[in-house]
Amino acid sequence: MVLPYCIHLLFISWFLSAHMLAIAQRSTYIVHMDKTLMPNVFADHHHWHSSTIDSIKASVPSSVDRFHSAPKLVYSYDNVLHGFSAVLSQDELAALKNLPGFISAYKDRTVEPHTTHTSDFLKLNPSSGLWPASGLGQDVIIGVFDSGIWPESVSFQDDGMPEIPKRWKGICKPGTQFNTSMCNKKLIGANYFNKGILANDPTVNISMNSARDTDGHGTHVASIAAGNFAKARGVAPRARLAVYKFSFKEGTFTSDLIAAMDQAVADGVDMMSISFGSRFVPMYEDAISIASFGAMMKGVLVSASAGNRGPDTGTLKNGSPWILCVASGHTDRTFAGTLTLGNGLKIRGWSLLPARVIVMDSTVIYNKTLSNCDSGELLSQVPDPECTIIICDESWDFSDQMLTVSRARLKAAIFISEDPGVFRSASFPNPGVVINKTEGKQVISYVQNSVAPTASITFQETYLDAKPAPVVAASSARGPSRSYLGIAKPDILAPGVLILAAYPPNVFATSIGTNIELSSDYILESGTSMAAPHAAGIAAMLKAAHPEWSPSAIRSAMMTTADPLDNTGKPIIDSDINREATPLAMGSGHVNPNRALDPGLVYDATPQDYLNLLCSMNFTEEQFKTIARSSANHNCSDPSADLNYPSFIALYSNEGNYTWLEQKFRRTVTNVGQGAATYKAKIKAPKNSKVSVSPQTLVYKNKNEKQSYTLTIRYIGPNWNYGLITWVEENGNHTVRSPIVISPIIDHW
């Protein structure tokens, strides 16, 4: 058989590259040594290791020839293991194996910067800030409510975990392919609830009648919140996990979710993470809202996803005042493929091809008739498709284009697209790269002006320099919350796009071409489902560092210290409109864990404050009791819609002549700093409004002291407008920032 010319060149290139690598390439190895065999002549282990490297230089003649630099000692270990890491060639490694004391060696492996890189993006580090202050979340118990868990994942191993807290009352419930031994000091509880499914259909057969995950979603979010040190560690790697499965292949019912949350409070969880939501229903019929209210009354904070129905306004879910509602954003990590044109121009495109392939010196074609890439019949007429790269413009849906290119068996494609949805999808089954319109014009110009245009593409490249970042995901649902318009939602923005986390290895993860399905222990997924467990993990660590803080105080600390700016120093943008994101898209900003550890001031709220809010909502007695459980035991003599919340929203009717309106808010802020402090108000008023604050200075003499102020907004419709109030500490480092939203009331919400 005669190979196509481009494949023949690829084979020759690969052979030469492999040959040169075998001759010249060095690798870093982790080397284990037997310290008992260290000769007495050495003063310590470091001298022994250095001498070992020196002896290799002497025994391997090629150690310093033109293909090799000298072998190099990288680290010398003597505590967690005894041995060293060193840069060695194959010949030097062979010589090392013959030396006294050698035990074993293996290549240094890449370790993902974790929860996919988000711990680095969130600036969590072991030497300062929230991680060490909270002991990495040690002994805080996070309840995860989802599709279960894959207990064998290394993310849920209990290496380095101390004994389970004695206050824990939960169980590890056995079931199908799941026994009690699968729980440990990390995964301390696993329970499942499906009576609601069976009640709906008594004939249904629950195929996985246990806490085992056959969907993948639950495993993914659990490892984000608190996965142990592994390829993709969690935000709070020393927190405990209690898993409550209520979502099954056979159905997902709110009755099961309520039962799961009810049991979790009895078991003793400190934090809840929920990545589910309902289509709009009134608050008194919303199971998550109702159960979260009960959890809050017991001191448990619920972190829940905002939903993925953005970018339209009013699409947000889980917007009840007592829930930490989390929006989704992009991080600074880019998955790339490099496109190199025949004229030498290199373009870094976006690609998530899950295969190690190289497209070398292949013909590139651009044809306006074919550029839609929407017709398999037309693409099948391309000459020599297995050696051809086609250019697809964005006149057709990207996923449909990808499928059509795959079916036509073209070698690769260059997709010209700026659709934000493309960059959230983890599906990329065919060789190709996505480039923007400006780059697309350069590529098309090259093809149209060349006699024989060619290009090469390399894949599986990762970069940590994307700018701007964070960016609000277009799919992230937007506020205001239709369940209650009186509180601006969402509360916070957290990483939620292409998040790497654990996954069941027997569940479909991604594909190559049209008929090859792949599985993996870790996969990338996007959505507010991924953002909520990030926030839950951070909240858990704040609880560990400040066990006296209430759920409201924790949420306040996260909101008032959030970052409104991206890594270019400019306001965070909304990827849908490529303009500054509003509080109804990102809440107070992107969560900053280390600043939240020491917020200066917090807006706290007691259970009675939330009851006073319920009393103001004009509910019937039945509706009120549905949420609060009883009206007889609650005092509604002081109803108040003005909850002590770290944000402000002023509402006006779309009807009328838009004369000046006025709304007042009263807030109380508690000093959680170290002692005496003075704060001054800094106001950025929304357009078409005037904002005043009284008093303009808050003076604290002691820690835990409370001070109150009144914020007055005079405004006129008909536009959406946004501003902020920031309390700035004099001669200190604290700034306490709260967004101000002016919003119309839209009846059809």
Question: Catalytic site residues?
Answer: 146, 217, 529
Taking the chain, what is the end-to-end CA distance rounded to the nearest angstrom?
Answer: 66
Gyration radius of the chain over CA positions: 29
Best CA proximity match to 493, nearest among 600, 599, 581: 581
Are 436 and 416 within 8 A, CB to CB? Answer: yes
Element (H, E) at 75: strand 72-77
Do the bridges between strand 432-435 and strand 412-416 make them parallel or antiparallel, or are there none, so unpaired? parallel
Give the 3-state secondary structure of residue 460.
Answer: strand
Best CA proximity match to 487, nearest among 597, 716, 640, 618: 640
DSSP codes joined into one string, 504-549: -TTS--EEETTTEEE--SEEEE-SHHHHHHHHHHHHHHHHHH-TT-
Q: Which are the contacts of 474, defined by CB distance < 8 A and separation ≥ 6?
A: 310, 311, 420, 421, 424, 574, 575, 576
Beta bridge partners of 501: 523
Best CA proximity match to 325, nearest among 221, 174, 468, 480: 480
* CA gap 352, 350 in Å, rounded: 7
Tokens of 199: 């009640």
Looking at residue 175, the DSSP 8-state letter turns out to be B
* CA gap 70, 54 in Å, rounded: 10
Q: Which are the contacts of 218, defined by CB distance < 8 A and separation ≥ 6?
A: 144, 146, 147, 148, 149, 243, 245, 247
CA distances, 680 to each of 553, 588, 643, 694 (Å): 21, 19, 22, 11
